[in-house]
Amino acid sequence: MQILLIEDDAETARFIGRGLGEMGWTVVHHPEAGPALLTLSAGRFDAVILDRMLPGMDGIAALTLLRGAGISVPVLMLTARAGLDDRVAGLNAGADDYLGKPFALSELAARLRSLARRPPLVAEATVIEVGELVLDRVAHAARRGDVTLELSPTEFKLLDQLMQHPGEVVTRTMLLEKVWGLTFDPKTSLVQTHMSRLRAKLDKPFARDLIQTVRGVGYVLAPS
């Protein structure tokens, strides 16, 4: 799941970012509405969390603009006040749901899940298997054959992405977007480094390498 978070309060943003991040979701955060709208694309994000009160452009205004442009991504409005009037105003502007602060993270997550409800894809399965590889998103565990792999969160996401496309090249750009939520090239060996770490755990101890490099393009996971 890719979530776009538009929230000016650093505290709240941090709280949400961490919470959803722990669930394996990718959160892209913008404190201002303007830049955030630029980042937003209908296909890329599963849902948007939008703060009602923002410096510069108000949440409602941003939402109106968004809907005016014909973008139909699910939007969850976040607000300190949750009076009936606010609620109505928000929903009228095109919000799909409304949540007042303070809120429980679990509730936020639940609502996002229901908002972003999509036809069940490979991407949504809780357990993926590719050959002797098994990845369990709920238990946050990965195995190769009988050996349990001790992966860091980043390595886990990386492997997740690869396993979603077995036998297909996964480009570096794609990984930057899906794993790190970056829309630009950091021009460092970020991907290489983590790929190297993943390989150290995934391939090094075994005879056959599952991850192959495709020079100038990206990486492939050996298909089953």
Interface with DNA, residue 80, by CB under 7 A: no
Residues that bind a second copy (CB under 8 A): 14-15, 18-19, 21-23, 35, 37-39, 41, 43-44, 82, 100-107, 110, 138-140, 152-153, 167-169, 171-174, 177, 183-185, 214-218, 220
DSSP annotation string for 205-223: TSSS--EEEETTTEEEEPP
Residue nearer to DNA on the CB measure, 166 or 218: 218
CB environment 16-40: b (16+ within 10 A), e (fewer): bbebbeebebbbbbbbebeebbeeb
Strand 97-100 to 47-51 pairing: unpaired
26: phi then psi, degrees, rounded to nearest 5: -100, 130
* Residues 120-159 within binding reach of DNA (CB under 7 A): 150, 152-155
Residue nearer to DNA on the CB measure, 64 or 173: 173
Q: How far apart are CA 164 and CA 121, in angstroms?
A: 10
- Among 106, 217, 223, 224, indicate the residue that binds DNA (CB under 7 A): 217
Residue nearer to a second copy on the CB measure, 102 or 119: 102
- Indicate which of DNA, a second copy, none lies near residue 127 (CB less than 5 to 8 Å, by partner kind): none
Interface with DNA, residue 106, by CB under 7 A: no
Q: Which two tokens stand for residue 7?
A: 């929230």
Report in angstroms how near the CB of residue 213 gets to DNA at its nearest: 3
Residue nearer to a second copy on the CB measure, 110 or 147: 110
- Among 69, 192, 206, 223, indicate the residue that binds DNA (CB under 7 A): 192
Q: CA 14, 19, 22: angle at the middle one, nearest 5?
A: 120
Answer left, alpha or beta for residue 181, where phi above 0 means left and psi between -120 and 50 means alpha. left
Residue nearer to DNA on the CB measure, 1 or 33: 1
